Structure 1
Amino acid sequence: MPPDSATARAHSGHAWQALDYAAADTRDLLALLFTAFVNANRDPKKPAMPWPEPGWRPGDPTPEETAAEAERNRAKARAAYAHITAQVLPETG
């Protein structure tokens, strides 16, 4: 099967074709070029424009998944801190 066939797209879990990836790469490249142009021609007294983040691609986590993962990591860190504090300072735990 060709990589852009319906069967291959269904197996990969998304409907992006090669043209969609090329368009996303072009958008990312134009954003980088625009940022480089703005930074090269900016007033030296002003801060540089931050570099853009690449666009979303299939397989990348969604913002909701990223936020949920960050919250899970914060909860783990709080639990680890409480565990260590309880061992070192028994009167607090």
Structure 2
Amino acid sequence: MVEGLPPNGAAARAINGHAWQAETYAAADTRDLLSLLFTAFVNANRDPKKRPMPWPEPGWRPGDPLPDESAATAERDRAAARAAYEHITSQVLPEEG
């Protein structure tokens, strides 16, 4: 019964967690490649006295963390590392804890 459902239908989005299809991934890969080629062209033809253009970051894909989530995850990781350090320090150096 589910074999006839469309690949971009509600069931497929629920299973995949996103609505991206092969064409969408190909378009995102093409965009990334074009930005790399543009950067390489600009860097190859720049004035030697000027700094090169930085290489572009790849675009977002489903499953990648959003920028807000990355910052929040980094902050949680820092807090967990600090708590672990303080826990170890309190066991090794009781006068400090």
TM-score by length of 1: 0.79
Q: Which residue of 2 aligns with 1:65?
A: 69
Q: How many residues align?
A: 93
CA pair 87-43 structure 1, distance change in 2 beyond 3 A: farther
- Where structure 1 has 5 or more consecutive residues not aligned to the other structure, the ranges are none
Over the aligned positions, Cα root-mean-square deviation in angstroms equals: 2.2
Q: Which residue of 1 aligns with 2:21?
A: 17
The alignment-based identity, stated in percent, is 76
Q: Which residue of 2 aligns with 1:31?
A: 35
- Where structure 2 has 5 or more consecutive residues not aligned to the other structure, the ranges are none
TM-score by length of 2: 0.76
**CA–CA distance in structure 2, aligned partners of residues 35 and 17 of structure 1:** 27
Q: Which residue of 1 aligns with 2:51?
A: 47
